[in-house]
Amino acid sequence: MYRDLFAHGLAAYRERDWDGAEEKFQECLKLAPEDGPSQLFERRVAFLRANPPAADWQGVWHATEK
Protein backbone atom coordinates (compact mmCIF):
# COMPACT_ATOMS: atom_id res chain seq x y z
CA MET A 1 0.00 0.00 0.00
CA TYR A 2 2.71 2.50 0.96
CA ARG A 3 4.69 1.79 -2.19
CA ASP A 4 1.62 2.41 -4.35
CA LEU A 5 0.84 5.68 -2.56
CA PHE A 6 4.39 6.90 -3.03
CA ALA A 7 4.39 5.86 -6.71
CA HIS A 8 1.15 7.78 -7.30
CA GLY A 9 2.60 10.79 -5.50
CA LEU A 10 5.73 10.66 -7.61
CA ALA A 11 3.70 10.37 -10.81
CA ALA A 12 1.60 13.39 -9.80
CA TYR A 13 4.80 15.31 -8.96
CA ARG A 14 6.25 14.60 -12.39
CA GLU A 15 2.98 15.76 -13.99
CA ARG A 16 3.04 19.00 -11.94
CA ASP A 17 -0.10 17.99 -10.11
CA TRP A 18 1.03 19.61 -6.86
CA ASP A 19 -2.24 19.00 -5.03
CA GLY A 20 -2.33 15.33 -5.98
CA ALA A 21 1.33 14.82 -5.14
CA GLU A 22 1.00 16.55 -1.78
CA GLU A 23 -2.05 14.45 -0.92
CA LYS A 24 -0.26 11.17 -1.66
CA PHE A 25 2.92 12.13 0.19
CA GLN A 26 0.84 13.19 3.21
CA GLU A 27 -0.91 9.81 3.12
CA CYS A 28 2.51 8.16 3.08
CA LEU A 29 3.54 10.20 6.10
CA LYS A 30 0.43 9.10 7.98
CA LEU A 31 1.62 5.51 7.51
CA ALA A 32 5.31 6.25 8.14
CA PRO A 33 5.78 9.67 9.80
CA GLU A 34 9.59 9.49 9.68
CA ASP A 35 9.81 8.56 5.99
CA GLY A 36 12.57 10.72 4.54
CA PRO A 37 11.61 10.47 0.85
CA SER A 38 8.00 11.51 1.52
CA GLN A 39 9.18 14.41 3.68
CA LEU A 40 11.61 15.47 0.96
CA PHE A 41 9.03 15.39 -1.82
CA GLU A 42 6.51 17.23 0.31
CA ARG A 43 9.05 20.05 0.73
CA ARG A 44 9.81 20.02 -2.99
CA VAL A 45 6.12 20.23 -3.86
CA ALA A 46 5.77 23.28 -1.60
CA PHE A 47 8.81 24.90 -3.23
CA LEU A 48 7.67 24.14 -6.78
CA ARG A 49 4.15 25.36 -6.06
CA ALA A 50 5.64 28.72 -5.01
CA ASN A 51 8.32 28.68 -7.74
CA PRO A 52 6.83 26.98 -10.81
CA PRO A 53 9.40 25.21 -12.99
CA ALA A 54 10.03 26.06 -16.64
CA ALA A 55 7.66 24.71 -19.28
CA ASP A 56 10.24 22.11 -20.37
CA TRP A 57 10.77 20.75 -16.83
CA GLN A 58 10.93 16.96 -16.83
CA GLY A 59 10.68 16.30 -13.10
CA VAL A 60 14.41 16.52 -12.43
CA TRP A 61 15.52 18.27 -9.26
CA HIS A 62 18.81 20.16 -9.50
CA ALA A 63 20.52 20.50 -6.13
CA THR A 64 22.00 23.94 -5.57
CA GLU A 65 23.50 23.21 -2.14
CA LYS A 66 25.42 20.41 -0.59
Is 65 inside a domain boundary? no
If one counts the domains in the chain, the total is: 1
Is 26 inside a domain boundary? yes
> What is the domain extent for residue 43?
2-50
Q: What is the pLDDT of residue 65?
A: 66
Is 43 inside a domain boundary? yes
Residue-level pLDDT, tens digit, the chain, 66 residues = 889 999 999 999 999 999 999 999 999 999 999 999 999 999 999 999 999 998 888 877 777 766
Q: What is the pLDDT of residue 54?
A: 86
- How far CA 16 is from CA of 1, 28, 42, 57, in Å, comes to 23, 19, 13, 9
Is 23 inside a domain boundary? yes
Is 20 inside a domain boundary? yes
Is 42 inside a domain boundary? yes
Model's pTM, two decimal places? Answer: 0.87
Is 32 inside a domain boundary? yes
